[in-house]
Amino acid sequence: GNERFYHHTAPINMCYALREALRLIYEEGLEPRWQRHALNSEALMEGLAAMGLEPFAQDGYRLPSLNAVRVPDGVQDGKVRGRLLRDYSIEIGGGLGALKGQIWRIGLMGHNSTPQTVFTFLGALESVLLAEGFSLPPGAASAAAREVYG
């Protein structure tokens, strides 16, 4: 209108982004979207378990879009996360507060929640952990994830 009562710029780009995000959810359908996130989370967690990594949250309390696992004994959190970022352009979160250095937070959100992302991450993490001297059965993570996908 001709009169402006509020002197700040409206967050127009954020409004467009929200509209686009809602359009994508509508196209896919809410139930299929939840199912996709749950399936990819299950595949990721099975792959991580095959590497010997333990989930942080108990079953039934896990968030499919943000998967947390304990950093294994003898593994340096920052070195692994740094190497994933530097060598594979994969960023995962570390623990916050009292959990700093104790867990990794691995996101599988929205467009990024795909089998390809799961397999890419598992392969990269396996390589980094092996390079850091962590003992694990090579290829077991991808095999476990493949089992979930059938």
Q: What is the pLDDT of residues 41-80, one digit of tens each?
A: 999 999 999 999 999 999 889 999 999 999 999 999 999 9
pLDDT digits (tens, 9 = 90+) for 26-37: 999 999 999 999
The residue count of the chain comes to 150
Q: What is the pLDDT of residue 59?
A: 87
* Residue 10 pLDDT grade (very low, low, confident, very high; cuts 50, 70, 90): confident
Inform me whether the pLDDT recorded for 83 exceeds 70.
yes
Mean pLDDT, residues 101-108: 97
Extended beta strands in the chain, E state: 66-70, 93-94, 103-107
Distance CA 120, CA 28 (A): 23
pLDDT, residue 8, reads: 72
Give the closest residue to 117 by CA, choosing from 138, 137, 145.
Answer: 145
Residue with the larger pLDDT of the pair 9 and 88: 88
CA angle at residue 99 from 142 to 135, to 5 degrees? 35
Instruction: Determine the Cα–Cα distance for residues 68 and 100; give it in Å rounded to an integer.
Output: 12
Q: What are phi and psi of 29, to 5 degrees?
A: 95, 140
CA pair distance 113, 99, nearest whole angstrom: 25
Report phi then psi at 105, rounded to 5.
-110, 115
Per residue in 64-96, is it b (16+ CB within 10 Å) or e — as a string? Answer: bbebbbbbbeebebeebbebbeeeeebebebbe
